[in-house]
Amino acid sequence: MAHIPDQHSRPYPQPTQNQQVKVQSVTLHLPNRENFRQNLAIDDNTTFHDLVVVNALSNRPPKAGHEYAVYDSADKSGRRFDINKHRPRDMFAKEKADIWLFQEPLISREDLDALFD
């Protein structure tokens, strides 16, 4: 009689490219407010700009001389995402993700030129 392995001894199948987990929702945090907006739904075409500026902030611009910056950690030690180009679906391999939004000063042309003088 042939040996039939039990269920627990079988290896788990490895996910293929099409089966990998894609982020379905994002929770937006602000520096002074945890869980500012929870479970923001996203699709394949949603950019961080769509998610943060359009949906969560209702098209409110950053204060003068600043820009919005999106990070994957509260202390800015993680990845910083290009708010206009990056898509959450391309950046996270889990169903729910957390992002933090900051306002950071813009670098002026004069400050940039001074770096290279």
**Inside any domain, residue 93:** yes
| Tokens 């699709």 sit on residue | 43
**Inside any domain, residue 10:** no
- 9-23, 39-53, 58-72: range with lowest mean pLDDT: 9-23
Could you give the number of structural domains in the chain?
1
**Inside any domain, residue 68:** yes
CATH number of domain containing 96: 3.10.20.90
- For 76-112, write each residue's pLDDT tens digit: 998 999 998 899 999 998 999 999 999 999 887 787 7
**Inside any domain, residue 51:** yes
Which element (helix H / strand E) includes 89? helix 88-91
**Inside any domain, residue 42:** yes
| Domain that residue 92 falls in | 20-115
User: 34: pLDDT confidence band, cut at 50, 70 and 90?
Assistant: confident
Instruction: Look at the alpha carbons of 90, 92, 93, 96 in this order and tell me if their dihedral is positive or negative.
Output: negative
Q: What is the largest CA-CA distance in the chain?
A: 82
Q: Taking the model in full, what pTM does it have?
A: 0.73
**Inside any domain, residue 81:** yes
Phi, psi (5° rounding) for residue 35? 50, 50
